[in-house]
Chain A
């Protein structure tokens, strides 16, 4: 996706995360070469300069890995029926033994990365795979340039006595934006787990900032609610976050409000409906218009115009239209979604009957 500067005065500008490198810093300063020895690989997201961020839940850490990709030389679309079967075969496993944890597209190379876990017997393994011109291959972590940062388990309190062994913080989504990695996660105990902000390049002296996020319904009921999926987007030189709470649908807030001292209340702009979990959020510009797409495991893809989304007023009362205008795009049950290039998005679609997960490239013109 290019920055359409010529259109900036008349068209809302929209840039997805990770595409603006910070020119003044050496982002890979402090990287070391070796095996990062990650305990788990849960969420992955690309930043600038071939840097892949990985959320390690059981190791309670974030990693930045230089994947040293080369740009694809072909434009063949990625489509793969039975992606989970192929990943399972490569890991020496039945398809039910593996889980595709996450998918990320490297904006520089256009290669696609998959985080995969395998459970069999008493062993759990995690692997990264890369889909490129040479097909689907393991991305070996044995000798990679990387850096690491611990994720704080607990919000800062007066007494440093709260790191109890039973408490966990499960990363559910992460993104790089504006010089930092933002992590959403869920606690296995208290409901109100916050976002974490981690400065990048990682520096062990820096602390993770916990952001307490709230959700208000119709100006009436407020909950200290965790965010499950989110996406940072830049609009007219200001970073925003589009997010899905665990308790309810789509909200937006300004990134500038994202600091540790301020209570952050998202603006509810849309409700997707009951019995559904958003599985991913992407944004893109297509033919001069900005869009946000939400992948859902039960409901169709939700498509919202960027202009509508950011001009939307918070939903003040329960209503039939449930907020901002949106379109439903039927593509099946989406387990993962990624923006691919100017013309395409990538979906992993679950075939419930066959138990397969299929990778599909979809033209933005068809959405």
Chain B
């Protein structure tokens, strides 16, 4: 498992009296000094590295890593990283030692880094203070990249004012759904409780109940990607209103008309909050050449408005907003179909569309 990185050199000799085992954080290596002449293969077979301060190493797996000899200094580089704040047990076989019939054990401890907390919860979406009973997901946005793997332990929902833990509200699954930067986590309310007629829904009902007030809590001891806890915990309270079983309807949206020659903001007012993640990824503006127009997007008014400021002035030409049909409202109803279609209700029939194209009126000023 250990890779031989140097060729064989004559005989071995490690003087226990002079051997010194240290570490190098820079090269992420354990360093053994005091090796004189060496048969590398014997060294490889005679030195073992273990994670932790071990009294007994019998069936403990050795750390996977690579050995390299530079002059009289042996470097062991753990393949999967050297951890600050951890101890390592190094066993040098007596067969490598001069004047000794016993193995030589050394434990080195690498001091923990002082890690400054800098990550905090920047926002939780939806940012509205009223959510529908069939709210489908939440986004938790952090100021810095986070560690994966323990998310569900750090997020709790309480029914207020009695602070009753709602421990079956969220879907906790082995996977965590992060954005590529690992700064935004998507949490689903248990879809089995939201979807009508399935057992979780029948047994437990919707995760949120109309008229109730809830508090979402994000723990301070959630670790960021550097291993530091958050600067502070986060709480958000919200009220629950009725179910939303209507698809967003582009016909009801208000869309502004920017003036040519300016960089006026183009705004869509959806008249209802729309899913934050999809607002950022499911709407684009294209020009006459069907090229995407570059600009800055700002989501405002509790995700009810999508604002676009072009990098270049508006021209007197045809612009179209392209809205992907997978754009969802807070309850997972998208432009094409409701989250939970009633097959016996003709009004619920899904629309046959993949995108909605909305022409933008470029307004000519009346001077």
A interface with B by C-beta (< 8 Å):
42, 58, 86, 88-94, 97, 99, 117-125, 127, 136-138, 157-159, 161-162, 164-168, 170, 172, 186-192, 215-225, 228, 246-249, 271-275, 277, 279, 297, 318, 322, 335
B339 — which chain A residues lie within 8 A by C-beta?
Answer: 191, 223
Q: How far is the CB of A343 from chain B (nearest CB, A)?
A: 27
Q: How far is the CB of A188 from chain B (nearest CB, A)?
A: 4
A120 — which chain B residues lie within 8 A by C-beta?
Answer: 81, 83, 227
A219 — which chain B residues lie within 8 A by C-beta?
Answer: 343
B278 within 8 A of A: yes
Let me know if B355 and A158 touch, CB within 8 A: yes
A136 — which chain B residues lie within 8 A by C-beta?
Answer: 61
B156 within 8 A of A: no
Let me know if A119 and B332 touch, CB within 8 A: no
Complex alpha-carbon distance, A347 and B282, angstroms: 41
Let me know if B84 and A121 touch, CB within 8 A: yes
Let me know if B200 and A274 touch, CB within 8 A: yes
Let me know if A172 and B175 touch, CB within 8 A: yes
Complex alpha-carbon distance, A297 and B174, angstroms: 10
Let me know if A161 and B322 touch, CB within 8 A: yes
Contact of A190 among B60, B196, B328, B343 (CB under 8 A): B328
5 residue pairs A–B, Cβ–Cβ below 8 Å: A164-B280, A168-B178, A192-B334, A248-B199, A271-B198
Complex alpha-carbon distance, A246 and B172, angstroms: 11
Let me know if B203 and A274 touch, CB within 8 A: yes
Q: Which 3 A-B pairs have the closest CB atoms?
A: A247-B191, A164-B281, A217-B197
Complex alpha-carbon distance, A358 and B135, angstroms: 37
Interface centre among A120, A136, A187, A219 (most CB of B within 10 A): A120
Chain B 165-208 against A: per-residue CB contact (8 Å), 1 yes, 0 no? 00010011111011110001010101111111111101110000
Let me know if B80 and A127 touch, CB within 8 A: yes
Complex alpha-carbon distance, A167 and B199, angstroms: 31
Chain B 139-171 against A: per-residue CB contact (8 Å), 1 yes, 0 no? 000000001110000000000000000001001
Let me know if B191 and A157 touch, CB within 8 A: no
Complex alpha-carbon distance, A40 and B226, angstroms: 18
Q: How far is the CB of B304 from chain A (nearest CB, A)?
A: 18
Let me know if B81 and A277 touch, CB within 8 A: no
Q: In the complex, how many residue pairs between chain A and chain B have their CB atoms under 8 Å apart?
A: 214
Closest to B291 in A: A161
Complex alpha-carbon distance, A165 and B324, angstroms: 16
B326 — which chain A residues lie within 8 A by C-beta?
Answer: 190, 192
B136 within 8 A of A: yes
Contact of A221 among B65, B149, B195, B334 (CB under 8 A): B195
In residues 262-312 of chain B, which contact A (Cβ within 8 Å)?
275, 277-278, 280-282, 284, 286, 290, 292
Let me know if A157 and B355 touch, CB within 8 A: yes
B62 within 8 A of A: yes
Chain B 25-46 against A: per-residue CB contact (8 Å), 1 yes, 0 no? 0000000000000000000000
Let me know if A122 and B51 touch, CB within 8 A: no
B196 — which chain A residues lie within 8 A by C-beta?
Answer: 217, 220-221
B344 within 8 A of A: yes
Let me know if B148 and A119 touch, CB within 8 A: yes
Contact of B62 among A90, A170, A247 (CB under 8 A): A90
Let me know if B200 and A248 touch, CB within 8 A: yes
A220 — which chain B residues lie within 8 A by C-beta?
Answer: 196-197, 342-344
B194 — which chain A residues lie within 8 A by C-beta?
Answer: 247
B198 — which chain A residues lie within 8 A by C-beta?
Answer: 217, 247-249, 271
Closest to B322 in A: A159
Let me know if B177 and A186 touch, CB within 8 A: yes
Closest to A335 in B: B174
Chain B 330-342 against A: per-residue CB contact (8 Å), 1 yes, 0 no? 0010100101111
Interface centre among B191, B290, B354 (most CB of A within 10 A): B191
Complex alpha-carbon distance, A92 and B82, angstroms: 7
Complex alpha-carbon distance, A93 and B83, angstroms: 8
Closest to B341 in A: A222
Let me know if A273 and B343 touch, CB within 8 A: no
Closest to B339 in A: A223
Let me know if A222 and B197 touch, CB within 8 A: no
Complex alpha-carbon distance, A246 and B81, angstroms: 35
Let me know if B174 and A274 touch, CB within 8 A: no
B241 within 8 A of A: no
A161 — which chain B residues lie within 8 A by C-beta?
Answer: 284, 286, 292, 322
**Contacts beyond the supplied A215-B195, A225-B195, A249-B198: 10 A-B pairs with Cβ under 8 Å:** A89-B60, A90-B64, A120-B227, A159-B355, A166-B179, A166-B184, A220-B196, A224-B337, A277-B171, A277-B173
